[in-house]
Structure 1
Amino acid sequence: MLLKTKIIPLVGAVILAFSSAAFAQEETVIIGHVGPLTGPNAHIGKDNENGAKMAIDELNAKGTLIGGKKVKFVLDSEDDASDPKLATTVAQKLVDEHVNGVIGHMNSGTTIPASKIYYDAGIPQISPSATNPKYTQQGFNTAFRVVANDGQLGGTLGRYAVNTLKGKKIAVIDDRTAYGQGVAEEFAKSAKKAGASIVDNQFTTDKATDFNAILTSIKAKSPDLIFFGGMDAVGGPMLHQMDQLGIKAHFMGGDGLCTTELAKLAGTGLKDDEVVCAEAGGVPEGEKTALNDFKTAYQKKFNQEVVIYAPYVYDATMTMVQAMQEAKSADPKKYLPYLAKINHKGVTGTIAFDPKGDIKNGSLTLYTYKDGKRTLLTVTK
């Protein structure tokens, strides 16, 4: 009996020591995520956050190792409300918290000013959705994106407007943000080159709700196509007011317009086959198994459809973690060179970056809307 009493504490001590050693080996890696979680773009920002959560939950569930050590990933999600000033405040907060990397921001207008703060701190940043070319033209080796830029997006839409939709007289509206203005300028440049005439240029803001004045001006010019550079929260009500004013024209926009929520926001203004938009990414029909599986899992987890960028956020997160694994370290300075030369097979396709940090061979997906549902037209480069 005495012998047993001595053995049990000894065995317990050994188990405790082993558990403590195992626990001590586990490393915490903090991934920052930033997007608009409040304001008119909150539905897109929440979609982004959900994509990051899916990646983090999956990584933790499978017991991911970095340099032979088990890692616990923590998501530090912040709200920039699509406000450039708030974006820099939030960026500095993440730097001060010593995050290991950042996925975000969502808007070009927030991503660009925040990128300087991450660069100064040496923290890698992957935007899943910022398309303004300036983001990767600043010479910051910490800046990456997993979607095509406005040059590709606007250029493709401009050619499609003229060559396929036969647009000859085109009106252009933008919301004066870095994204909206950038994609509208690239579109106009491409459409003019393809032979169209830009009959009117109008401007609004990313928080506007009344477009009667600018739409009345545009109606007087009788355009056969209107392009809007901005987000769905503005584009949807704009479509509704176009319908009220009896404006008969195709309506086009970039990825900010091209969401599953547009039908709700536009109401009766969303007519079949009259809206064409482009997502700054895409997978050809024959290669969509992984993306479709992701969308099914997303629906099951969050009880809603993907709005637009969640798959790109998921891929951005997984790409960053693959770089950490290849470097055998979550230290930003150590894994940054591996991120620059990464080749990641994601649900949105293969992710690899050019020397500026832009995705190589970025795809674009063109959509229209039928019966209130976003409907695929084509995937192109």
Structure 2
Amino acid sequence: MSASETAVADCETLSVGQIAGLRRKVSSMHRVFVFVFVFVGLAAVVSCSAHADVLIGVSAAMTGRLAWIGEQGQRGAEMAVADLNATGGVLGQQVRLITVDDFCDPEQAVVAAEKLVADGAVFVVGHYCSGASIPASKVYEAAGVLQISPGSTNPLLTEQGRDNVFRVIGRDDAQGVVAGSYLADHWGNKKIAILHDGTTYGRGLADETRKQLNKRGVTEAIYQSYTPAKNDYSAEITALKAANVAVAYVGGYHAEVALMVRGARDRGNPIQFISGDALATEEFALIAGPAAEGTLFTFSADPRRNPTAAPVVERFRADNFEPAGYTLLSYGAVQAWAQAVKQAGSQDLRDVIRSLRSHQFDTVLGRIDFDEKGDLTVQSWVWYVWKDGEYVPLK
């Protein structure tokens, strides 16, 4: 039994007991009065059940090499729920958050999704990894649970035709166009390498970037995969140097890119590294050290710079947490859900879906709305550069 069901069951037990007492007190009264008392007791049950907490979930990699990003998602959702409850919750009910660890793994993501469904979550902020979001989305669809991802960028997530799936970040077919064009514009006459980690996210982004690069009339010198989660990428760095590669675009996660950058600099290789949104975490600079300087990547327009997000950003910083990366994207996902429920006047999934598709929502991400697939109608991929231990917009 889920926590919400337990709360309701406790409430129902008390009310049924009260009903029994009422019936004993009126045993000598006319049958119609018994009915009146029973009706009043049942109304108490309904009223009490209606005030049980609304459960929502957040699912991301909370352990392992992507735990830093998982914490961003969790902290963003936690702050959003706290702020929501401080203003009355959703339709008069308080909201409670459940966190599960999907390890950024397809099979574990399904287990995590099933756990959230069993616990009674009506909405999930997640998953972060595309390779986790896509298989989990099937579980949520079957259970009638809304899913809004703050970080999954692979196009397939919203191309499956699942009405319950949305995201508050752009797609890699758009991100790849930006990256491929930038490579063609700045290194079209140099040797370019495109690497990927074989994951749904990494390979998908690399392929979209390659597609746009080739469309611009430039063919990469190297296209190959690498094994994620290794401690050393000296072999890959040596191969890039031997091929006289000037720039390497890496479709993958921040930890591996950081090790590549550091390895290249340690060997005196000035190769330029470029990657995607997964580099939007402070851990990249912690792993890469001074070698992080100058690394380029694409990410959403930084919501920390939105005036409407300032109060939220200040509260995070007052708690000694920098809301970088996907923190505010998770916060914004909760805001969109809560506003959609309010607009619909209902928590029914079909009503909320219709609301999400027919309204605009004022969030820490700015004003957003969704198309029929569940994607943002406006996508903005921005270039960033790592400088002095933080990422800033590229000028």
**Shorter-normalised TM-score: what interval?**
0.7 to 0.9
Q: Partner residue of 1:377? A: 394
Q: Partner residue of 2:170? A: 148
Q: Partner residue of 1:309? A: 326
CA contact (8 A) 2:84 2:90 kept: no
Q: Distance in 2 between matches of 1:279 and 1:196?
A: 24
CA contact (8 A) 2:300 2:382 kept: yes
Give the letter for the 1:33 counterpart.
V
| Alignment of structure 1 residues 1-381 onto 2, 5 Å | 26-66=51-91, 70-164=92-186, 168-271=190-293, 273=294, 275-282=295-302, 288-301=306-319, 303-377=320-394
Q: Distance in 2 between matches of 1:292 and 1:145?
A: 23
Alpha-carbon displacement from aligned partner over 1:291-337 (angstroms, at most 9, x marks no partner)? 34332221223x12123001110010110111111121223243222
Q: Distance in 1 between matches of 2:161 and 2:45?
A: 45
1 or 2, which has the higher strand percentage? 1
CA contact (8 A) 1:104 1:126 kept: yes
Alpha-carbon displacement from aligned partner over 1:113-149 (angstroms, at most 9, x marks no partner)? 1011111112110000100001011110011111110
What secondary structure, in the 3-state scheme, does the structure 2 residue paired with 1:202 have?
strand
Instruction: Give 1:346 deviation, angstroms.
Output: 1.1
Instruction: Give 1:20 deviation, angstroms.
Output: 11
Q: Distance in 1 between matches of 2:344 and 2:148?
A: 17
Instruction: Give 1:282 deviation, angstroms.
Output: 4.3
CA contact (8 A) 1:147 1:281 kept: no
What secondary structure, in the 3-state scheme, does the structure 2 residue paired with 1:367 have?
strand
Q: Percent of pairs identical after alignment?
A: 33
Greater Cα offset, 178-187 or 343-352: 343-352
Alpha-carbon displacement from aligned partner over 1:14-71 (angstroms, at most 9, x marks no partner)? xxx9x999866534211111001000000000110000001000011111351xxx21
Greater Cα offset, 157-166 or 126-135: 157-166
Give the letter for the 1:44 counterpart.
I
Give the letter for the 2:173 counterpart.
G
Give the letter for the 1:134 counterpart.
L
CA contact (8 A) 1:54 1:314 kept: yes
What secondary structure, in the 3-state scheme, does the structure 2 residue paired with 1:261 have?
helix
What secondary structure, in the 3-state scheme, does the structure 2 residue paired with 1:173 have?
strand
- Cα distance, 1:372–1:205 mapped onto 2, change above 3 Å: same
CA RMSD of aligned residues (A): 2.2
- Cα distance, 1:261–1:187 mapped onto 2, change above 3 Å: same
Q: Distance in 2 between matches of 1:120 and 1:22?
A: 29
Q: Distance in 2 between matches of 1:115 and 1:330?
A: 19
Greater Cα offset, 291-300 or 303-312: 291-300
1 or 2, which has the higher helix percentage? 2
What secondary structure, in the 3-state scheme, does the structure 2 residue paired with 1:226 have?
strand
Alpha-carbon displacement from aligned partner over 1:237-268 (angstroms, at most 9, x marks no partner)? 11111112322221100001232332111013
Q: Distance in 2 between matches of 1:284 and 1:192?
A: 35
Alpha-carbon displacement from aligned partner over 1:164-183 (angstroms, at most 9, x marks no partner)? 46663210111111000011
Q: Distance in 2 between matches of 1:198 and 1:144?
A: 34
- Cα distance, 1:373–1:326 mapped onto 2, change above 3 Å: same
CA contact (8 A) 1:109 1:178 kept: yes
Q: Partner residue of 1:9? A: none
Give the number of equivalent residue pairs.
Answer: 353
Q: Distance in 2 between matches of 1:344 and 1:186?
A: 29
Q: Distance in 2 between matches of 1:321 and 1:205?
A: 40
What secondary structure, in the 3-state scheme, does the structure 2 residue paired with 1:237 have?
helix
What secondary structure, in the 3-state scheme, does the structure 1 residue paired with 2:139 have?
helix
CA contact (8 A) 1:104 1:125 kept: yes
Instruction: Give 1:95 deviation, angstroms.
Output: 1.4
Q: Distance in 2 between matches of 1:21 and 1:202?
A: 60
Structure 1, unpaired ranges of 5+: 1-16
